[in-house]
Amino acid sequence: MRQGRSMDIKKIVGQMTLEQKADYLTGKDFWQTQEYAELGVPAMFLSDGPHGVRKQAAASDHLGLNVSIPATCFPTAATMANSWNEELGEKMGEALGEEARAQRVNVLLGPGLNMKRDPRCGRNFEYFSEDPYLAGKMAASYVRGIQKNGTSACIKHFAANDQEERRMASDSVVDERTLREIYLTAFEIAVKEGKTKSIMTSYNKVNGVYANENEHLLRDVLRGEWGYQGMVVSDWAGSYDRVAAVKAGSDLEMPACKYGAEDVVKAVNEGRLDVKYVDECVERLLKLNESTRIPEDAPTTFDIRLHNDIAKKCAEESIVLLKNDGVLPINSGVKVALIGDFAENPRYQGAGSSIVNPTVLSRFVDKLTKDNVRHAPENKNYKQGVGTVGETPIEVVETYVEDMIEYDLDAVGYAKGFDRYGKKSDKLIKKAVELAEKADVALLFLGLDEVSEAEGLDRENIKINQNQIDLFNAIKATGKKIVVVLSCGSAVELSRVDGCSALVYACLSGQACADAVLNVITGKVNPSGKLSETFPVSYEDCPTSNYFPGKKLTSEYREGPFIGYRYYEKVGKKVQFPFGFGLSYTKFSYSDLVITDGGVQFTIKNEGQVAGSEIAELYVGKAESALPRPAKELKGFKKVCLAAGGSKRVEIPFDDKTFRYFNVATGRFEVEGGKYDLYVCASSDDIRLSGSIEKLPTTDVMPYKKTELPSYYCGDVKNVSDEEFEKLIKRDIPSSEYPFYKKNRMVIDENCTVSDLRYSRRWIGRFFSWLIRFTIGFCRTFGMRTTANTLVMGVLHQPVRGMAKFGGMSRRQMEGLLMMFNGRFFKGFGRFLSKGKKA
């Protein structure tokens, strides 16, 4: 097909054979869709990219084990959510879309929209918030930006995928109201307001049915209620029953899986699947293909300097000042000591499939001690521009050395201070103390390392490594002022560093992290970020601490809607730093609240001597309610920039989500009648203005009885009984136990994980599982934590079917393995050795 000519989609579908249609619904290879040149249908390229394009040179490098083509590494979603700036999110998204197009990527796999249900989730750095409204608004802004030039965003992982442990085999057991209000609302906003063209399903089951074949999620809610008409794609190797998936409306299976297509053809021929479902999927894929078509003459370069500046602006607006005893901003001429491994090797992004190879990386030691910038990777230079499909990477981008920003600080030197992976070293601490004694202020760079929070596994705790705390205490003993710069992708316990003079939360700020943090520390930028998640005093305070992660076969969401600030406020639990909190170098006052049927209006004034930005947050509560409710919930926000002494009239409108709740009795969102309390806040626990409004009910049907759900009505949800949880979910709790037919023995099927093989009937399965677990333990014992984590994510928790879905063997060989695991060794061995088509 010539470029610029539109497709006759109905005609193309009519010309395709059933086999071609079925093939089109599965990948051509690891990253591309099928192509049919004779029909004018080119392949589409899909690539990871929540905070930067990760186009791999190796065709099957799903985990990002090798270097990808350089791209701008923007702040992660967890960081950007702290900016509360939708316009900036859209600008970042536009840059992402431009880079994707330059690299000939049609579909960018991001952003991630799962909730920060628990701070231990290893992938929290890739998600926006504990609050669905904030997450949805930020995601919608990303999507609008990404899709401005034709690239498709792909929001993920739909849905209730809020833990990494056993994510491919776990069943999320959650009541319908909590599912709709907490875990689907962000997706709904991104679909309706962002108009995303693509959605990726999650690996897990949701209430007993795998998400990728879940008709309730895909047909009833996504396409039915929300009116979504775009593409649905499986996560990689996340398609379980391909026929059921097609019927549910999941269009594309990735990566390439020939036997999935064969199953579809067979089901149609046998009358088990109506061909209309196949045609619908094909049509949606063709529509996406047409809308994301990249002209041959489209630019293959992007403005590296401009995009780095956007990354820096995003980081600056996302940095949260959590504490300041007057030491910040640091005045010119002050002697500072840079201490901590993260000053030299900054923690600026997450770990796993979202890893980006940055075009340039600014480091704190370079900015204050060497006056140069490290290039990625390993200071190698590249030619300007970005390669097209098939070109070798890195021949196509030349990173630049940005103009040095002058910082009027007297850096006395740098000391590593600690081993980033936790190994204790008195020698490193001693050198750091000696350096600190020469300075007026110690800039102490603390946080989590790359293997403590990563895709595929959850954190063991929410503590900072003890060797970092030992360093902090040693520096504190010198009497010097300490400014802690914290780098991590989710909440950590901070009580043990409470004695610092200032605490700057950088989160994971992308490739321009050093410039952004130093601009804030020196006062070139007034911090304006606010927390998008609560920092608890300790993990034991978390509402999910008794339920996370789910063990064995299920993950029970017994806490219901009470996650994050919704729980802490309901039960009056003290926190370290509340949701929506963040300091500035100036002060803001709120006044003159006016409430109308359409929203709230009020005035914000900058009472200080420097310009600054303030984020006003609107919360809604209902003290007298027939429903179990949080004390209040975020329903709107606005970020405004004010000159010193300036003021502005601010309006936050109501929308269709302001007063709604999901009624499980009527099966739809309703409004409870009565008085609603409105709070204009500087953070979730800092109410500046308040008022109320009356609303009429949309139904008299109330779905709950207070006597049946006492824990939920009072919010004390940490120890919900089986009986009460069953009342909430309105069914029996599914068993979390393995289906043993005798002690520690069960039938192994393709959906069992490698970890589950320890319960197989034959020794070969048990030995293989033991070998993997032994290797993981060996790697951890001898300091190879990255290798251990890769084995956990890529092997131990991988279902047996993944061996075929990822192309390692044919389905026939996989079936042979299952026979061997289940006691039919010789027959299975013969089947394994026989020839069969690769998946």
Ramachandran class of 271: left when φ > 0, alpha when ψ lies in -120 to 50, beta otherwise: left
Does residue 379 surpass a pLDDT of 50? no
In degrees to the nearest 10, what's the CA dihedral of 303, 307, 310, 315? -160
> How many whole angstroms separate alpha carbon 126 and alpha carbon 324?
28
Does residue 392 surpass a pLDDT of 90? no
> How many whole angstroms separate alpha carbon 252 and alpha carbon 281?
8
Identify whether the C-beta of residue 706 lies closer than 8 Å to the C-beta of residue 713.
yes
Please write the tens of the pLDDT for every residue from 641-679. 999 999 999 999 999 999 999 999 999 999 999 999 999
Please write the tens of the pLDDT for every residue from 415-443. 999 999 999 999 999 999 999 999 999 99
Does residue 387 surpass a pLDDT of 70? no
Q: DSSP character for 792?
A: I
Catalytic residue among 23, 118, 131, 235: 235
Provide Rg for the chain, Cα atoms. Answer: 27
Instruction: State the sign of the Cα–Cα–Cα–Cα dihedral 793, 799, 802, 804.
Output: positive
Q: Tokens 């594309």 correspond to what residue?
A: 252
Does residue 698 surpass a pLDDT of 60? yes
Q: Which residues of 672-805 form beta strands (DSSP E)?
A: 674-683, 686-695
The predicted structure's pLDDT at residue 810:
87
Q: What distance separates the 2 farthest-apart alpha carbons in the chain?
A: 83
Which has the closest alpha carbon to 300: 399, 392, 387, 397?
387
Please write the tens of the pLDDT for every residue from 213-269. 999 999 999 999 999 999 999 999 999 999 999 999 999 999 998 899 999 999 999
| Bridge-based pairing state of the strands 575-577 and 660-663 | unpaired
Does residue 567 surpass a pLDDT of 80? yes
Helix axes 513-521, 304-318, angle to 10 degrees: 50
Which has the closest alpha carbon to 522: 489, 486, 485?
485
> How many whole angstroms separate alpha carbon 623 and alpha carbon 582?
27
The predicted structure's pLDDT at residue 391:
37
Residue 309 is a catalytic residue:
no
Cβ density class 54-77: b for 16+ within 10 Å, e for less: bbbeeeebbbbeebbbbbbbbbbb
Which has the closest alpha carbon to 281: 316, 231, 236, 345?
231
647-653 β-sheet, strand order? 588-596, 599-606, 647-653
Q: Which amino acid is at 102?
A: A
**275: how many CB neighbours lie within 10 A of its CB?**
14
Please write the tens of the pLDDT for every residue from 438-467. 999 999 999 999 888 888 889 999 999 999
As a whole-number percent, the residues of the chain with pLDDT over 90 amount to 84
Identify whether the C-beta of residue 564 lies closer than 8 Å to the C-beta of residue 130.
yes
The predicted structure's pLDDT at residue 835:
66
Confidence of residue 59 (pLDDT cuts 50, 70, 90): low
Mean pLDDT computed over 81-105 = 98
Select, from the ranges 552-566, 771-785, 824-838, the one with the highest average predicted confidence (pLDDT).
552-566
Does residue 5 surpass a pLDDT of 90? no
> How many whole angstroms separate alpha carbon 357 and alpha carbon 787?
19
| Residue 129 Cα to chain centre, angstroms | 9
Mean pLDDT computed over 561-575 = 98
Which residues have C-beta within 8 Å of that of residue 214, sequence separation ≥ 6? Answer: 201, 206, 248
Domains of the chain: 14-58+92-291 (3.20.20.300), 304-529 (3.40.50.1700), 586-703 (2.60.40.10), 755-833 (no CATH)
Cα dist from 497 to 168, 468, 605, whole Å: 37, 10, 33
Q: DSSP character for 460?
A: S
Confidence of residue 325 (pLDDT cuts 50, 70, 90): very high
Mean pLDDT computed over 814-824 = 93
Of the listed ranges 129-133, 408-412, 710-714, the least confidently predicted one is 408-412
User: Rounded to 5 degrees, what are φ and ψ at 496?
Assistant: -80, -5
The DSSP result for 214-232, as a single string, is -HIIIIIIIIIIS---SEE
The DSSP result for 567-617, as a single string, is HHHHHT--EEE-TT--B-SS-EEEEEEEEETTEEEEEEEE-SSS-EEEEEE
Cα dist from 664 to 176, 669, 697, 704, whole Å: 7, 9, 16, 9
Mean pLDDT computed over 612-617 = 99
Identify whether the C-beta of residue 133 lies closer than 8 Å to the C-beta of residue 121.
no
| Three-class SS of 360-404 | CECCHHHHHHHCCCECCCCCCCCCCCCCCCCCCCCCCCCCCCCCC
Identify whether the C-beta of residue 500 lies closer than 8 Å to the C-beta of residue 483.
yes
Mean pLDDT computed over 745-764 = 93
Which has the closest alpha carbon to 524: 514, 534, 533?
514
Cα dist from 614 to 129, 639, 682, 791, 805, whole Å: 19, 6, 8, 45, 49
The DSSP result for 616-683, as a single string, is EEEEEE-SS-SS---S-EEEEEEEEEE-TT-EEEEEEE--TTSSEEEETTTTEEEE--EEEEEEEEEE
> How many whole angstroms separate alpha carbon 307 and alpha carbon 359?
10
Sort 374 into a burial class: Cβ within 10 Å, 0-12 / 13-18 / 19+: buried
User: Rounded to 5 degrees, what are φ and ψ at 193?
Assistant: -95, -35
Which residues have C-beta within 8 Å of that of residue 189, sequence separation ≥ 6? Answer: 132, 133, 136, 137, 139, 140, 657
Identify whether the C-beta of residue 367 lies closer than 8 Å to the C-beta of residue 515.
yes
> How many whole angstroms separate alpha carbon 757 and alpha carbon 767?
8
Identify whether the C-beta of residue 300 lies closer than 8 Å to the C-beta of residue 397.
no
Identify whether the C-beta of residue 536 lies closer than 8 Å to the C-beta of residue 152.
no
| Bridge-based pairing state of the strands 410-415 and 441-447 | unpaired
Mean pLDDT computed over 57-84 = 81
Which residues have C-beta within 8 Å of that of residue 620, sequence separation ≥ 6? Answer: 632, 633, 635, 658, 659, 676, 677, 678, 679
> How many whole angstroms separate alpha carbon 188 and alpha carbon 211?
16
Identify whether the C-beta of residue 443 lies closer than 8 Å to the C-beta of residue 337.
yes
Which residues have C-beta within 8 Å of that of residue 73, sequence separation ≥ 6? Answer: 51, 52, 311, 348, 349, 356, 357, 358, 359, 361, 510, 511
Compute the half-sphere exposure of residue 229: CA atoms within 13 Å on the CB side of its CA: 7
Confidence of residue 65 (pLDDT cuts 50, 70, 90): low
Identify whether the C-beta of residue 758 lies closer than 8 Å to the C-beta of residue 766.
yes
Mean pLDDT score of the chain:
92
Mean pLDDT computed over 309-323 = 98
**772: how many CB neighbours lie within 10 A of its CB?**
19
> How many whole angstroms separate alpha carbon 410 and alpha carbon 601?
46
Taking the model in full, what pTM does it have?
Answer: 0.93
